[in-house]
Amino acid sequence: MNNENSPIQLRYLKFCPTCQIIKPLRSKHDSISNKCIAKFDHYCGWGYSSVGQENHRQFVLFLSFFLILLCIFNIRMLSHFLMVYQPTKSNNYIYFKIFLNLYEQNPSLLLWYIIWTILNIFVLNQLVHQAKGIFNNLTINEFINKNKYQHFWNHHLFINPFNLGYTNNFKQFWGISNHINWYDTFTTQHLSKQDTDQDNVIYI
């Protein structure tokens, strides 16, 4: 704990009774992995793992590559349908006819296509939320639970003390600049001591 913290800042310190530690700023005790996660984002049920400071970049990269693969797969399948299940007489409802032919001739393939398309939309939705978080410097957990964190509120006004602007937020996320050690940062005052490259952070 930093002895230079003022009494005003000390009231923001949180103790985790399970891990027996003072919780760093932006961390959260994850009940599934039963440990405090630095810069906690969310628990990923697919990966059976908490997403936080250690693996957040890898998670976003995984989502991006997975989305590209899904898009390639969907486009390839669609082009296959256009070639194989083309109706003999073309009309205004050609795409509908292609899928009708597919349904009649190979319903299991159509089912797979629908499942992959839903998966595609789901992954895209996840990536959009992640991009929103990266550019605004907010984790999914902070988006959802922002009302619980006092450091976001100043006279009932929401102020994000981590926000450096879209470009610097992006650079910080990917470790290009404005590096912050989220394991050893306990208050927003402590944040100002580490961060010497920036001059536009609003502190509470």
- Name the minimum Å distance from CB 34 to Zn ion: 8
Alpha-carbon span 6 to 50, nearest angstrom: 32
DSSP three-state, residue 1: coil
Measured from the CB atom, the residue of 19 and 82 that comes closer to Zn ion is 19
Token digits of residue 97 = 């006819």
- Encode burial over 128-157: b for 16+ CB neighbours within 10 A, e otherwise: eebeebbeebbbbbbeeeeeebebbeeeee
Measured from the CB atom, the residue of 16 and 204 that comes closer to Zn ion is 16
Is residue 16 near Zn ion by the rule CB under 5 A? yes
How crowded is the C-beta side of 84, counted as CA atoms within 13 Å? 15
- Name the minimum Å distance from CB 40 to Zn ion: 10
Q: How far is CA 191 from the centre of its chain?
A: 22
What string marks each residue from 23 to 42 as x (binds Zn ion by CB under 5 A) or -? ------x------x------
- Name the minimum Å distance from CB 197 to Zn ion: 31
Measured from the CB atom, the residue of 35 and 129 that comes closer to Zn ion is 35
Is residue 13 near Zn ion by the rule CB under 5 A? no
Which residues of the shown chain bind Zn ion in the complex (CB under 5 A)? Answer: 16, 18-19, 29, 36
